[in-house]
Structure 1
Protein backbone atom coordinates (compact mmCIF):
# COMPACT_ATOMS: atom_id res chain seq x y z
CA UNK A 1 0.00 0.00 0.00
CA UNK A 2 1.22 3.50 -0.79
CA UNK A 3 2.39 5.85 1.92
CA UNK A 4 2.14 9.44 0.79
CA UNK A 5 3.81 12.54 2.22
CA UNK A 6 2.34 15.91 1.20
CA UNK A 7 4.46 18.98 1.87
CA UNK A 8 2.18 21.76 3.06
CA UNK A 9 2.43 25.19 1.49
CA UNK A 10 1.74 28.07 3.86
CA UNK A 11 2.32 31.78 4.33
CA UNK A 12 1.87 34.03 7.36
CA UNK A 13 0.61 31.13 9.46
CA UNK A 14 -2.13 30.14 6.99
CA UNK A 15 -2.34 26.94 4.99
CA UNK A 16 -2.51 27.41 1.23
CA UNK A 17 -5.69 25.86 -0.31
CA UNK A 18 -3.46 24.05 -2.82
CA UNK A 19 -2.50 21.65 -0.03
CA UNK A 20 -6.08 20.35 0.18
CA UNK A 21 -6.02 19.81 -3.59
CA UNK A 22 -2.90 17.68 -3.16
CA UNK A 23 -4.84 15.58 -0.64
CA UNK A 24 -7.48 14.90 -3.31
CA UNK A 25 -4.80 13.69 -5.71
CA UNK A 26 -3.20 11.58 -2.98
CA UNK A 27 -6.56 9.95 -2.21
CA UNK A 28 -6.77 8.94 -5.86
CA UNK A 29 -3.38 7.24 -5.56
CA UNK A 30 -4.60 5.49 -2.42
CA UNK A 31 -2.87 4.71 0.86
CA UNK A 32 -1.96 6.52 4.07
CA UNK A 33 -1.77 10.29 3.64
CA UNK A 34 0.50 12.34 5.87
CA UNK A 35 1.09 16.10 5.69
CA UNK A 36 4.44 17.66 6.60
CA UNK A 37 4.46 21.20 7.95
CA UNK A 38 7.89 22.84 8.08
CA UNK A 39 7.84 26.21 9.81
CA UNK A 40 9.35 28.19 12.65
CA UNK A 41 6.09 27.77 14.56
CA UNK A 42 3.95 25.12 12.83
CA UNK A 43 1.21 24.73 15.46
CA UNK A 44 -1.59 26.77 13.82
CA UNK A 45 -0.80 25.50 10.32
CA UNK A 46 -0.71 21.90 11.52
CA UNK A 47 -4.09 22.34 13.20
CA UNK A 48 -5.54 23.47 9.86
CA UNK A 49 -3.97 20.55 8.00
CA UNK A 50 -5.26 18.07 10.58
CA UNK A 51 -8.83 19.06 9.75
CA UNK A 52 -8.55 18.05 6.08
CA UNK A 53 -10.57 14.90 5.49
CA UNK A 54 -8.47 11.87 4.62
CA UNK A 55 -5.27 13.02 6.31
CA UNK A 56 -4.08 10.36 8.78
CA UNK A 57 -1.20 12.27 10.36
CA UNK A 58 0.39 15.71 10.37
CA UNK A 59 4.12 15.83 10.93
CA UNK A 60 5.62 19.12 12.13
CA UNK A 61 9.22 20.24 11.87
CA UNK A 62 9.84 23.35 13.93
CA UNK A 63 13.09 25.14 13.15
CA UNK A 64 13.90 28.82 13.11
CA UNK A 65 15.43 28.34 9.65
CA UNK A 66 11.99 27.31 8.34
CA UNK A 67 10.50 30.75 8.93
CA UNK A 68 10.73 31.40 5.18
CA UNK A 69 10.13 28.95 2.32
CA UNK A 70 13.62 28.60 0.87
CA UNK A 71 14.10 25.53 -1.31
CA UNK A 72 17.73 25.12 -0.28
CA UNK A 73 16.67 24.99 3.39
CA UNK A 74 13.49 22.92 3.11
CA UNK A 75 14.59 20.31 0.56
CA UNK A 76 17.23 18.55 2.72
CA UNK A 77 14.69 18.23 5.55
CA UNK A 78 11.96 16.92 3.24
CA UNK A 79 14.37 14.41 1.70
CA UNK A 80 15.07 13.07 5.21
CA UNK A 81 11.35 12.93 6.04
CA UNK A 82 10.71 11.05 2.79
CA UNK A 83 12.37 7.89 4.13
CA UNK A 84 9.72 5.18 4.17
CA UNK A 85 7.29 7.03 1.93
CA UNK A 86 6.37 5.84 -1.56
CA UNK A 87 5.28 9.29 -2.75
CA UNK A 88 6.16 12.91 -1.96
CA UNK A 89 3.67 15.43 -3.32
CA UNK A 90 3.83 19.22 -3.51
CA UNK A 91 1.44 21.66 -5.21
CA UNK A 92 2.48 22.87 -8.65
CA UNK A 93 2.64 26.46 -7.45
CA UNK A 94 5.63 28.79 -7.25
CA UNK A 95 6.47 27.11 -3.94
CA UNK A 96 6.20 23.55 -5.26
CA UNK A 97 8.03 24.26 -8.50
CA UNK A 98 10.89 25.69 -6.45
CA UNK A 99 11.15 22.98 -3.80
CA UNK A 100 10.19 19.73 -5.59
CA UNK A 101 13.12 19.60 -8.05
CA UNK A 102 15.56 20.00 -5.15
CA UNK A 103 13.89 17.17 -3.23
CA UNK A 104 13.90 14.92 -6.32
CA UNK A 105 17.59 15.63 -6.91
CA UNK A 106 18.49 14.78 -3.32
CA UNK A 107 16.55 11.51 -3.60
CA UNK A 108 18.09 10.74 -6.99
CA UNK A 109 14.80 10.41 -8.83
CA UNK A 110 13.13 12.11 -11.79
CA UNK A 111 10.27 14.43 -10.88
CA UNK A 112 6.75 14.07 -12.27
CA UNK A 113 5.47 17.59 -12.98
CA UNK A 114 1.90 18.93 -13.10
CA UNK A 115 0.15 15.70 -12.18
CA UNK A 116 -3.42 16.11 -13.46
CA UNK A 117 -4.78 12.55 -13.38
CA UNK A 118 -3.93 9.28 -11.66
CA UNK A 119 -4.16 5.98 -13.52
CA UNK A 120 -2.44 3.94 -10.82
CA UNK A 121 0.00 4.28 -7.92
CA UNK A 122 2.84 4.92 -10.38
CA UNK A 123 0.94 5.88 -13.54
CA UNK A 124 -0.08 9.48 -14.14
CA UNK A 125 -1.16 11.97 -16.76
CA UNK A 126 0.33 15.43 -17.20
CA UNK A 127 -0.05 18.20 -19.80
CA UNK A 128 2.64 18.97 -22.38
CA UNK A 129 2.98 21.46 -25.26
CA UNK A 130 1.29 24.25 -23.29
CA UNK A 131 -1.63 21.96 -22.50
CA UNK A 132 -2.32 21.00 -26.12
CA UNK A 133 -1.55 17.35 -25.41
CA UNK A 134 -1.76 15.03 -22.43
CA UNK A 135 0.98 12.47 -21.86
CA UNK A 136 0.85 9.30 -19.76
CA UNK A 137 3.93 8.70 -17.63
CA UNK A 138 4.98 5.77 -15.47
CA UNK A 139 7.36 6.22 -12.55
CA UNK A 140 9.59 3.35 -11.32
CA UNK A 141 7.76 1.34 -8.68
CA UNK A 142 10.92 0.71 -6.68
CA UNK A 143 11.75 4.37 -6.08
CA UNK A 144 10.10 7.27 -4.30
CA UNK A 145 7.78 9.26 -6.56
CA UNK A 146 8.30 13.01 -6.25
CA UNK A 147 5.54 14.91 -8.02
CA UNK A 148 3.94 18.32 -8.23
CA UNK A 149 0.15 18.37 -8.35
CA UNK A 150 -1.62 20.70 -10.76
CA UNK A 151 -4.08 22.52 -8.45
CA UNK A 152 -6.44 23.50 -11.27
CA UNK A 153 -7.06 19.83 -12.09
CA UNK A 154 -8.17 18.77 -8.61
CA UNK A 155 -10.93 20.01 -6.29
CA UNK A 156 -9.94 20.76 -2.73
CA UNK A 157 -10.74 18.09 -0.16
CA UNK A 158 -13.08 19.45 2.50
CA UNK A 159 -12.66 19.50 6.25
CA UNK A 160 -13.96 16.94 8.69
CA UNK A 161 -10.74 15.21 9.60
CA UNK A 162 -9.04 14.94 12.97
CA UNK A 163 -5.54 13.76 12.18
CA UNK A 164 -2.95 13.20 14.86
CA UNK A 165 -0.21 15.84 15.01
CA UNK A 166 3.29 14.55 15.63
CA UNK A 167 6.47 16.60 16.09
CA UNK A 168 9.56 15.35 14.30
CA UNK A 169 13.25 16.20 14.58
CA UNK A 170 15.10 16.11 11.29
CA UNK A 171 18.86 15.73 11.33
CA UNK A 172 19.67 17.48 8.07
CA UNK A 173 22.61 19.76 7.36
CA UNK A 174 21.33 23.08 6.10
CA UNK A 175 23.23 25.35 3.70
CA UNK A 176 24.82 28.59 4.83
CA UNK A 177 25.09 30.14 1.38
CA UNK A 178 21.33 30.81 1.02
CA UNK A 179 19.74 33.59 3.04
CA UNK A 180 16.31 35.17 3.07
CA UNK A 181 16.46 38.84 2.07
CA UNK A 182 12.81 39.81 1.71
CA UNK A 183 9.46 38.99 0.13
CA UNK A 184 7.84 41.37 -2.34
CA UNK A 185 4.17 40.45 -2.58
CA UNK A 186 1.20 42.44 -3.74
CA UNK A 187 -1.48 43.22 -1.17
CA UNK A 188 -5.15 43.20 -2.09
CA UNK A 189 -8.53 42.99 -0.39
CA UNK A 190 -9.83 41.00 -3.36
CA UNK A 191 -9.93 37.17 -3.37
CA UNK A 192 -6.65 35.43 -4.14
CA UNK A 193 -6.39 34.79 -7.87
CA UNK A 194 -5.54 31.10 -7.59
CA UNK A 195 -8.23 30.21 -5.06
CA UNK A 196 -11.05 32.60 -6.09
CA UNK A 197 -14.29 31.00 -7.26
CA UNK A 198 -14.85 33.93 -9.65
CA UNK A 199 -12.19 35.74 -11.67
CA UNK A 200 -12.44 38.73 -14.00
CA UNK A 201 -9.49 39.29 -16.34
CA UNK A 202 -8.60 42.11 -18.72
CA UNK A 203 -6.49 42.12 -21.85
CA UNK A 204 -4.53 44.47 -24.07
CA UNK A 205 -7.73 45.81 -25.65
CA UNK A 206 -8.27 47.95 -22.55
CA UNK A 207 -5.55 50.23 -23.86
CA UNK A 208 -4.05 51.56 -20.64
CA UNK A 209 -3.51 51.00 -16.93
CA UNK A 210 -6.11 53.68 -16.21
CA UNK A 211 -8.75 51.94 -18.32
CA UNK A 212 -8.13 48.73 -16.37
CA UNK A 213 -10.14 50.34 -13.57
CA UNK A 214 -13.35 49.03 -15.16
CA UNK A 215 -12.05 45.48 -14.58
CA UNK A 216 -11.45 46.22 -10.90
CA UNK A 217 -14.88 47.81 -10.60
CA UNK A 218 -16.70 44.83 -12.12
CA UNK A 219 -14.66 42.38 -10.04
CA UNK A 220 -15.50 44.24 -6.84
CA UNK A 221 -19.19 44.17 -7.76
CA UNK A 222 -18.96 40.39 -8.29
CA UNK A 223 -16.67 39.66 -5.35
CA UNK A 224 -14.16 38.23 -7.80
CA UNK A 225 -10.40 38.00 -8.10
CA UNK A 226 -8.67 40.00 -10.83
CA UNK A 227 -6.37 38.62 -13.51
CA UNK A 228 -4.85 39.75 -16.78
CA UNK A 229 -3.50 38.40 -20.03
CA UNK A 230 0.22 38.32 -20.71
CA UNK A 231 -0.23 41.08 -23.26
CA UNK A 232 -1.78 43.34 -20.62
CA UNK A 233 1.06 42.59 -18.21
CA UNK A 234 3.72 43.18 -20.87
CA UNK A 235 2.05 46.49 -21.74
CA UNK A 236 2.43 47.56 -18.12
CA UNK A 237 -1.28 47.78 -17.29
CA UNK A 238 -0.94 45.54 -14.22
CA UNK A 239 1.86 43.77 -12.29
CA UNK A 240 2.98 40.34 -13.43
CA UNK A 241 1.60 38.53 -10.37
CA UNK A 242 -1.85 39.02 -11.97
CA UNK A 243 -0.94 37.16 -15.16
CA UNK A 244 -3.14 34.20 -16.04
CA UNK A 245 -1.83 31.54 -18.40
CA UNK A 246 0.87 28.97 -19.03
CA UNK A 247 3.60 31.46 -18.09
CA UNK A 248 1.51 32.96 -15.27
CA UNK A 249 -1.04 31.36 -12.97
CA UNK A 250 -3.08 28.34 -14.00
CA UNK A 251 -6.52 28.66 -12.42
CA UNK A 252 -9.84 26.82 -12.30
CA UNK A 253 -12.53 29.17 -10.95
CA UNK A 254 -16.22 28.36 -11.18
CA UNK A 255 -16.67 31.49 -13.31
CA UNK A 256 -14.07 33.17 -15.52
CA UNK A 257 -14.81 36.43 -17.32
CA UNK A 258 -12.32 37.35 -20.06
CA UNK A 259 -12.63 40.98 -21.15
CA UNK A 260 -10.70 42.26 -24.15
CA UNK A 261 -8.66 39.06 -24.30
CA UNK A 262 -8.21 37.51 -27.75
CA UNK A 263 -7.26 34.08 -26.42
CA UNK A 264 -3.63 33.23 -27.16
CA UNK A 265 -2.88 29.55 -26.57
CA UNK A 266 -0.81 30.23 -23.46
CA UNK A 267 -3.76 32.07 -21.90
CA UNK A 268 -6.28 29.39 -22.83
CA UNK A 269 -4.05 26.78 -21.19
CA UNK A 270 -4.33 28.66 -17.92
CA UNK A 271 -8.15 28.73 -17.85
CA UNK A 272 -9.29 25.56 -19.60
CA UNK A 273 -10.39 23.94 -16.33
CA UNK A 274 -12.70 26.84 -15.41
CA UNK A 275 -16.35 25.92 -14.85
CA UNK A 276 -17.99 28.62 -16.99
CA UNK A 277 -16.08 30.97 -19.30
CA UNK A 278 -17.59 34.28 -20.40
CA UNK A 279 -15.81 36.23 -23.15
CA UNK A 280 -16.31 39.88 -24.13
CA UNK A 281 -14.47 40.99 -27.27
CA UNK A 282 -15.23 43.16 -30.28
CA UNK A 283 -13.62 40.61 -32.63
CA UNK A 284 -16.14 37.86 -33.21
CA UNK A 285 -13.40 35.61 -34.62
CA UNK A 286 -11.17 35.84 -31.56
CA UNK A 287 -9.92 32.38 -30.41
CA UNK A 288 -11.35 32.98 -26.93
CA UNK A 289 -14.86 32.39 -28.32
CA UNK A 290 -13.91 28.83 -29.31
CA UNK A 291 -13.81 27.77 -25.66
CA UNK A 292 -16.21 30.31 -24.15
CA UNK A 293 -19.54 29.08 -22.79
CA UNK A 294 -21.01 32.58 -23.21
CA UNK A 295 -19.69 35.10 -25.72
CA UNK A 296 -20.54 38.79 -26.10
CA UNK A 297 -19.29 40.51 -29.24
CA UNK A 298 -19.04 44.26 -28.89
CA UNK A 299 -17.28 47.23 -27.36
CA UNK A 300 -16.12 46.29 -23.88
CA UNK A 301 -16.33 49.93 -22.77
CA UNK A 302 -20.08 49.78 -23.39
CA UNK A 303 -20.79 46.18 -22.36
CA UNK A 304 -18.88 46.14 -19.04
CA UNK A 305 -20.60 49.24 -17.52
CA UNK A 306 -23.98 47.85 -18.64
CA UNK A 307 -23.16 44.52 -17.05
CA UNK A 308 -22.12 46.22 -13.81
CA UNK A 309 -25.36 48.23 -13.71
CA UNK A 310 -27.37 45.06 -14.29
CA UNK A 311 -25.66 43.48 -11.29
CA UNK A 312 -27.03 46.30 -9.15
Structure 2
Protein backbone atom coordinates (compact mmCIF):
# COMPACT_ATOMS: atom_id res chain seq x y z
CA UNK A 1 0.00 0.00 0.00
CA UNK A 2 1.39 3.39 -1.01
CA UNK A 3 2.19 5.70 1.90
CA UNK A 4 0.05 8.84 1.88
CA UNK A 5 1.87 12.16 1.71
CA UNK A 6 1.90 14.83 4.41
CA UNK A 7 0.98 18.38 3.47
CA UNK A 8 4.58 19.46 4.08
CA UNK A 9 5.71 16.75 1.67
CA UNK A 10 3.22 17.84 -0.99
CA UNK A 11 4.27 21.48 -0.58
CA UNK A 12 7.93 20.52 -0.89
CA UNK A 13 7.28 18.56 -4.10
CA UNK A 14 5.48 21.54 -5.62
CA UNK A 15 8.26 23.91 -4.54
CA UNK A 16 10.82 21.63 -6.20
CA UNK A 17 8.78 21.66 -9.41
CA UNK A 18 8.84 25.46 -9.34
CA UNK A 19 12.53 25.71 -8.49
CA UNK A 20 13.50 23.25 -11.23
CA UNK A 21 11.49 25.19 -13.82
CA UNK A 22 9.08 22.31 -14.43
CA UNK A 23 6.27 24.59 -13.27
CA UNK A 24 7.36 28.09 -14.40
CA UNK A 25 5.94 31.39 -13.09
CA UNK A 26 2.38 31.99 -14.26
CA UNK A 27 1.69 28.31 -14.94
CA UNK A 28 -1.65 26.89 -13.90
CA UNK A 29 -1.04 23.91 -11.65
CA UNK A 30 -3.12 20.71 -11.69
CA UNK A 31 -6.50 20.70 -9.98
CA UNK A 32 -6.88 19.54 -6.39
CA UNK A 33 -8.19 16.15 -7.46
CA UNK A 34 -5.26 15.75 -9.85
CA UNK A 35 -2.82 16.74 -7.09
CA UNK A 36 -4.46 14.20 -4.75
CA UNK A 37 -3.78 11.47 -7.29
CA UNK A 38 -0.31 12.76 -8.15
CA UNK A 39 0.87 12.79 -4.53
CA UNK A 40 -1.32 10.02 -3.07
CA UNK A 41 -2.76 12.57 -0.67
CA UNK A 42 -6.18 13.42 0.71
CA UNK A 43 -8.11 16.51 -0.35
CA UNK A 44 -7.48 18.09 3.08
CA UNK A 45 -3.73 17.44 2.81
CA UNK A 46 -3.57 19.07 -0.62
CA UNK A 47 -5.61 22.05 0.59
CA UNK A 48 -3.27 22.58 3.55
CA UNK A 49 -0.27 22.34 1.21
CA UNK A 50 -1.76 24.95 -1.14
CA UNK A 51 -2.52 27.24 1.79
CA UNK A 52 1.09 26.94 2.95
CA UNK A 53 2.42 27.66 -0.54
CA UNK A 54 0.13 30.67 -0.85
CA UNK A 55 1.42 32.06 2.47
CA UNK A 56 5.00 31.60 1.23
CA UNK A 57 4.33 33.42 -2.04
CA UNK A 58 4.51 30.44 -4.40
CA UNK A 59 0.89 30.22 -5.54
CA UNK A 60 -2.17 32.40 -6.02
CA UNK A 61 -5.79 31.40 -6.54
CA UNK A 62 -7.74 32.82 -9.49
CA UNK A 63 -11.21 31.64 -8.53
CA UNK A 64 -12.73 29.21 -10.99
CA UNK A 65 -9.72 29.59 -13.26
CA UNK A 66 -7.66 27.56 -10.81
CA UNK A 67 -4.42 28.00 -8.90
CA UNK A 68 -1.32 29.45 -10.55
CA UNK A 69 2.35 29.79 -9.75
CA UNK A 70 2.98 33.44 -8.90
CA UNK A 71 4.78 35.58 -11.45
CA UNK A 72 7.69 35.95 -9.07
CA UNK A 73 7.94 32.99 -6.68
CA UNK A 74 10.57 33.07 -3.91
CA UNK A 75 13.05 31.01 -5.92
CA UNK A 76 13.17 33.87 -8.45
CA UNK A 77 14.28 36.29 -5.73
CA UNK A 78 18.00 36.87 -5.37
CA UNK A 79 18.76 38.91 -2.28
CA UNK A 80 22.16 40.38 -1.43
CA UNK A 81 23.43 40.04 2.14
CA UNK A 82 25.91 42.90 2.50
CA UNK A 83 28.55 43.23 5.22
CA UNK A 84 31.16 45.95 5.47
CA UNK A 85 33.63 43.52 7.09
CA UNK A 86 34.86 39.96 6.38
CA UNK A 87 32.46 37.32 7.68
CA UNK A 88 34.82 34.43 8.45
CA UNK A 89 35.18 35.35 12.14
CA UNK A 90 31.96 37.30 12.53
CA UNK A 91 29.48 35.43 14.72
CA UNK A 92 26.62 37.73 13.71
CA UNK A 93 27.28 37.01 10.04
CA UNK A 94 27.53 33.27 10.69
CA UNK A 95 24.15 33.25 12.41
CA UNK A 96 22.59 35.18 9.53
CA UNK A 97 24.13 32.92 6.89
CA UNK A 98 22.92 29.83 8.77
CA UNK A 99 19.41 31.28 8.85
CA UNK A 100 19.65 32.18 5.15
CA UNK A 101 20.59 28.60 4.25
CA UNK A 102 17.53 27.27 6.09
CA UNK A 103 15.22 29.81 4.44
CA UNK A 104 16.68 28.92 1.04
CA UNK A 105 16.07 25.22 1.66
CA UNK A 106 12.54 25.84 2.90
CA UNK A 107 11.29 28.57 0.55
CA UNK A 108 13.77 28.70 -2.31
CA UNK A 109 15.03 32.27 -1.88
CA UNK A 110 18.50 32.81 -3.30
CA UNK A 111 21.03 34.73 -1.18
CA UNK A 112 24.28 36.23 -2.47
CA UNK A 113 26.97 37.17 0.03
CA UNK A 114 28.84 40.45 -0.43
CA UNK A 115 31.45 40.88 2.30
CA UNK A 116 34.11 43.53 2.83
CA UNK A 117 31.82 46.04 1.12
CA UNK A 118 32.36 49.69 1.87
CA UNK A 119 32.05 53.06 0.20
CA UNK A 120 33.44 55.58 2.64
CA UNK A 121 34.32 57.94 -0.20
CA UNK A 122 34.37 57.82 -4.02
CA UNK A 123 38.08 56.98 -3.85
CA UNK A 124 37.66 54.33 -1.15
CA UNK A 125 35.06 51.95 -2.53
CA UNK A 126 35.74 48.22 -2.37
CA UNK A 127 35.67 45.92 -5.36
CA UNK A 128 32.79 43.99 -3.83
CA UNK A 129 30.74 47.17 -3.49
CA UNK A 130 31.32 47.93 -7.16
CA UNK A 131 30.30 44.36 -8.01
CA UNK A 132 27.13 44.81 -5.96
CA UNK A 133 26.31 48.06 -7.76
CA UNK A 134 26.83 46.33 -11.11
CA UNK A 135 24.52 43.43 -10.14
CA UNK A 136 21.86 45.93 -9.08
CA UNK A 137 22.23 48.03 -12.24
CA UNK A 138 21.73 44.90 -14.35
CA UNK A 139 18.63 44.09 -12.27
CA UNK A 140 19.92 40.72 -11.16
CA UNK A 141 18.85 41.31 -7.55
CA UNK A 142 15.44 41.72 -5.94
CA UNK A 143 16.84 43.54 -2.93
CA UNK A 144 19.82 44.08 -0.65
CA UNK A 145 20.13 43.90 3.13
CA UNK A 146 22.91 46.03 4.62
CA UNK A 147 24.12 44.98 8.06
CA UNK A 148 25.73 47.31 10.55
CA UNK A 149 24.07 50.58 9.63
CA UNK A 150 24.56 52.86 6.68
CA UNK A 151 27.85 54.60 7.47
CA UNK A 152 30.26 52.19 5.68
CA UNK A 153 28.20 52.43 2.49
CA UNK A 154 27.31 56.12 2.70
CA UNK A 155 28.48 57.31 -0.72
CA UNK A 156 27.51 54.23 -2.69
CA UNK A 157 25.56 55.04 -5.84
CA UNK A 158 23.33 52.10 -4.99
CA UNK A 159 21.79 53.82 -1.96
CA UNK A 160 20.61 56.80 -3.96
CA UNK A 161 19.64 55.28 -7.31
CA UNK A 162 16.37 53.66 -6.15
CA UNK A 163 16.93 50.83 -8.62
CA UNK A 164 16.88 48.32 -5.79
CA UNK A 165 15.04 47.87 -2.51
CA UNK A 166 17.73 48.47 0.11
CA UNK A 167 17.12 47.65 3.75
CA UNK A 168 19.34 48.40 6.74
CA UNK A 169 19.64 46.15 9.78
CA UNK A 170 21.19 48.06 12.67
CA UNK A 171 20.79 48.99 16.31
CA UNK A 172 17.68 51.01 17.03
CA UNK A 173 18.22 54.75 16.78
CA UNK A 174 15.26 57.12 16.64
CA UNK A 175 17.50 60.06 15.73
CA UNK A 176 18.92 58.57 12.55
CA UNK A 177 17.22 58.59 9.17
CA UNK A 178 18.34 55.88 6.78
CA UNK A 179 18.14 56.31 3.01
CA UNK A 180 15.91 53.24 2.90
CA UNK A 181 13.71 51.17 5.20
CA UNK A 182 15.45 49.98 8.36
CA UNK A 183 15.06 46.82 10.42
CA UNK A 184 15.96 48.12 13.89
CA UNK A 185 17.36 45.90 16.62
CA UNK A 186 15.83 46.60 20.01
CA UNK A 187 18.02 48.44 22.52
CA UNK A 188 19.32 45.61 24.73
CA UNK A 189 20.10 47.59 27.87
CA UNK A 190 16.67 47.86 29.59
CA UNK A 191 16.15 44.10 29.43
CA UNK A 192 19.73 43.48 30.50
CA UNK A 193 19.45 45.75 33.56
CA UNK A 194 16.26 43.96 34.61
CA UNK A 195 17.79 40.52 34.16
CA UNK A 196 20.95 41.36 36.10
CA UNK A 197 18.94 42.88 38.93
CA UNK A 198 16.53 39.92 39.06
CA UNK A 199 19.46 37.50 39.30
CA UNK A 200 20.73 39.30 42.41
CA UNK A 201 23.92 40.59 40.79
CA UNK A 202 25.10 44.11 41.59
CA UNK A 203 28.56 44.60 40.05
CA UNK A 204 28.86 44.64 36.25
CA UNK A 205 31.95 44.50 34.04
CA UNK A 206 31.72 45.20 30.32
CA UNK A 207 33.91 44.09 27.41
CA UNK A 208 33.27 46.13 24.25
CA UNK A 209 34.78 46.81 20.83
CA UNK A 210 36.80 50.02 20.99
CA UNK A 211 34.19 52.69 21.69
CA UNK A 212 31.42 51.02 19.70
CA UNK A 213 29.12 51.41 22.69
CA UNK A 214 29.86 54.48 24.73
CA UNK A 215 29.79 52.86 28.14
CA UNK A 216 31.07 55.97 29.83
CA UNK A 217 28.22 58.31 28.99
CA UNK A 218 26.51 59.81 32.06
CA UNK A 219 23.12 58.48 30.92
CA UNK A 220 24.31 54.88 30.89
CA UNK A 221 25.98 55.18 34.27
CA UNK A 222 22.75 56.68 35.60
CA UNK A 223 20.71 53.77 34.22
CA UNK A 224 23.02 51.33 35.98
CA UNK A 225 22.74 53.23 39.25
CA UNK A 226 18.95 53.35 38.97
CA UNK A 227 18.93 49.59 38.51
CA UNK A 228 21.10 49.22 41.62
CA UNK A 229 24.12 48.05 39.61
CA UNK A 230 27.68 49.26 40.16
CA UNK A 231 29.95 49.85 37.15
CA UNK A 232 33.53 50.86 37.91
CA UNK A 233 35.84 52.38 35.34
CA UNK A 234 38.40 49.62 35.86
CA UNK A 235 35.75 47.05 34.93
CA UNK A 236 35.00 48.64 31.54
CA UNK A 237 37.37 47.50 28.79
CA UNK A 238 37.54 48.29 25.08
CA UNK A 239 39.32 45.91 22.70
CA UNK A 240 40.53 45.68 19.15
CA UNK A 241 38.85 42.55 17.69
CA UNK A 242 41.96 41.90 15.59
CA UNK A 243 44.03 41.46 18.76
CA UNK A 244 42.15 38.81 20.74
CA UNK A 245 45.07 37.98 23.04
CA UNK A 246 44.43 41.18 24.98
CA UNK A 247 40.90 39.94 25.72
CA UNK A 248 42.29 36.77 27.25
CA UNK A 249 44.84 38.65 29.34
CA UNK A 250 42.27 41.04 30.79
CA UNK A 251 39.86 38.18 31.50
CA UNK A 252 42.52 36.26 33.42
CA UNK A 253 43.51 39.39 35.35
CA UNK A 254 39.90 40.10 36.30
CA UNK A 255 39.41 36.50 37.43
CA UNK A 256 42.45 36.75 39.71
CA UNK A 257 41.05 39.68 41.71
CA UNK A 258 39.83 39.03 45.26
CA UNK A 259 36.02 38.73 45.54
CA UNK A 260 35.58 42.18 47.07
CA UNK A 261 37.28 43.81 44.05
CA UNK A 262 35.86 41.53 41.37
CA UNK A 263 32.60 42.10 39.46
CA UNK A 264 29.91 39.47 39.87
CA UNK A 265 28.59 39.76 36.30
CA UNK A 266 30.14 40.33 32.88
CA UNK A 267 28.55 41.58 29.67
CA UNK A 268 30.52 40.72 26.50
CA UNK A 269 28.88 43.26 24.24
CA UNK A 270 30.21 42.15 20.85
CA UNK A 271 30.24 38.81 19.03
CA UNK A 272 33.92 39.14 18.13
CA UNK A 273 35.00 39.07 21.77
CA UNK A 274 33.01 36.03 22.87
CA UNK A 275 35.29 33.12 21.83
CA UNK A 276 38.47 34.41 23.50
CA UNK A 277 36.63 35.50 26.64
CA UNK A 278 34.87 32.14 27.01
CA UNK A 279 38.10 30.20 26.46
CA UNK A 280 39.84 32.31 29.10
CA UNK A 281 37.00 31.87 31.59
CA UNK A 282 37.08 28.11 31.05
CA UNK A 283 40.74 27.97 32.05
CA UNK A 284 40.60 30.22 35.12
CA UNK A 285 39.70 29.35 38.71
CA UNK A 286 36.31 31.04 38.78
CA UNK A 287 33.24 28.95 39.52
CA UNK A 288 30.77 30.01 36.84
CA UNK A 289 27.98 30.99 37.26
CA UNK A 290 28.27 31.05 41.07
CA UNK A 291 31.17 33.53 41.08
CA UNK A 292 30.39 35.28 37.81
CA UNK A 293 27.25 35.51 35.68
CA UNK A 294 28.22 35.87 32.04
CA UNK A 295 26.12 37.60 29.38
CA UNK A 296 27.48 37.12 25.86
CA UNK A 297 26.14 39.12 22.95
CA UNK A 298 25.62 36.67 20.13
CA UNK A 299 22.85 35.98 17.66
CA UNK A 300 20.58 33.00 17.34
CA UNK A 301 20.63 30.15 16.38
CA UNK A 302 23.59 29.10 18.51
CA UNK A 303 25.50 25.95 19.33
CA UNK A 304 24.66 24.19 22.59
CA UNK A 305 27.55 22.44 24.31
CA UNK A 306 28.89 22.22 27.82
CA UNK A 307 32.02 24.32 28.28
CA UNK A 308 30.94 27.48 30.10
CA UNK A 309 27.39 28.27 31.25
CA UNK A 310 26.27 31.70 30.16
CA UNK A 311 23.34 33.81 29.09
CA UNK A 312 23.37 34.36 25.34
CA UNK A 313 21.87 37.71 24.49
CA UNK A 314 21.10 38.97 21.03
CA UNK A 315 18.72 38.81 18.12
CA UNK A 316 17.15 36.02 16.13
CA UNK A 317 18.79 35.97 12.71
CA UNK A 318 15.83 34.21 11.09
CA UNK A 319 13.46 36.94 12.31
CA UNK A 320 15.73 39.64 10.88
CA UNK A 321 15.92 37.96 7.48
CA UNK A 322 12.22 37.14 7.27
CA UNK A 323 11.23 40.75 7.96
CA UNK A 324 13.58 42.03 5.29
CA UNK A 325 12.29 39.45 2.80
CA UNK A 326 8.70 40.48 3.51
CA UNK A 327 9.65 44.12 2.90
CA UNK A 328 11.41 43.30 -0.37
CA UNK A 329 8.38 41.34 -1.58
CA UNK A 330 5.97 44.14 -0.63
CA UNK A 331 7.90 47.43 -0.72
CA UNK A 332 6.61 50.13 1.61
CA UNK A 333 5.89 53.65 0.42
CA UNK A 334 7.69 55.54 3.18
CA UNK A 335 11.39 55.48 2.29
CA UNK A 336 12.47 56.24 5.84
CA UNK A 337 10.22 53.83 7.70
CA UNK A 338 11.46 51.97 10.74
CA UNK A 339 10.03 48.48 10.46
CA UNK A 340 9.00 46.49 13.57
CA UNK A 341 11.81 45.96 16.06
CA UNK A 342 13.68 42.68 16.11
CA UNK A 343 13.25 41.83 19.80
CA UNK A 344 16.19 41.39 22.11
CA UNK A 345 16.41 37.92 23.67
CA UNK A 346 18.20 36.40 26.64
CA UNK A 347 18.70 32.64 26.68
CA UNK A 348 20.47 30.63 29.36
CA UNK A 349 22.66 27.92 27.88
CA UNK A 350 26.11 26.44 27.58
CA UNK A 351 28.46 27.67 24.92
CA UNK A 352 31.54 25.99 23.52
CA UNK A 353 34.18 27.54 21.26
TM, length-normalised to structure 1: 0.32
- The structure with more radius of gyration: 2
Counting helix residues as a fraction of each chain, which structure ranks higher? 2
TM, length-normalised to structure 2: 0.29
Counting strand residues as a fraction of each chain, which structure ranks higher? 1
